[in-house]
Amino acid sequence: MTRLLAFILSRGVPEVKVESVQVVETPTSPQWALDLEVGELRLVTIEPKYTFFVKPDPRSYWRRFKEKYPHWDRIALKYGAAVSPLVCRLCPEFPSRDALVNWLSDTLDLSQGERNLLRLL
């Protein structure tokens, strides 16, 4: 399945070499947060985030991707992407694998068959 993903991403930005692509789940650890209602610190768990890691040069790939598909950010926000400075340089982080795959499918305007195959990831 990673070959399919690499094929789709390389077809999306053919001028940047794509050797492999991984779906990465960013683990999160519990963090302290201020509960504004009671004014106390509480331990909260943050949900993991999902993103694509493109080898060999992820920065070049995502920079060109964002130039070629300037609507990437609007679609990313639609699917709940995390907003951070790192997201501006690499692939956005999403709250689920489905959101990640749907974002890519919409951004690249994939066919229904390609979308169905990606959902098997």
Specify whether the CB–CB gap between 54 and 91 falls below 8 A.
yes
pTM equals 0.82
Enclosing domain of residue 97: 2-119
pLDDT at 84: 65
What is the model's pLDDT at position 121?
A: 74
Look at residue 30 in the predicted model and tell me its pLDDT.
Answer: 72
Q: What stretches of the chain show up as alpha helix (H) in DSSP?
A: 2-12, 58-68, 72-78, 85-89, 97-108, 112-119
- Specify the pLDDT at position 78: 96
Q: What is the pLDDT of residue 38?
A: 82
One digit per residue, the tens of pLDDT, for the chain of length 121 reads 689 999 999 999 999 999 999 999 987 777 777 778 888 888 777 788 999 999 999 999 999 999 999 999 999 999 999 866 555 678 999 999 999 999 999 999 999 999 999 988 7
Helix, strand, or coil (residue 53): strand
Q: How far is CA 73 from the centre of its chain?
A: 11
Q: For the chain, what percent of residues have pLDDT higher than 70?
A: 94
pLDDT at 33: 78
Q: Name the domain count of the chain.
A: 1
Query: Whats the size of the chain, residue-wise?
Result: 121
Tokens standing for residue 56: 């060999």
Q: Give the percent of the chain with pLDDT over 90.
A: 69
State whether residue 12 is helix, strand or coil: helix
Q: End-to-end distance of the chain based on CA atoms, in angstroms?
A: 6
pLDDT at 1: 63
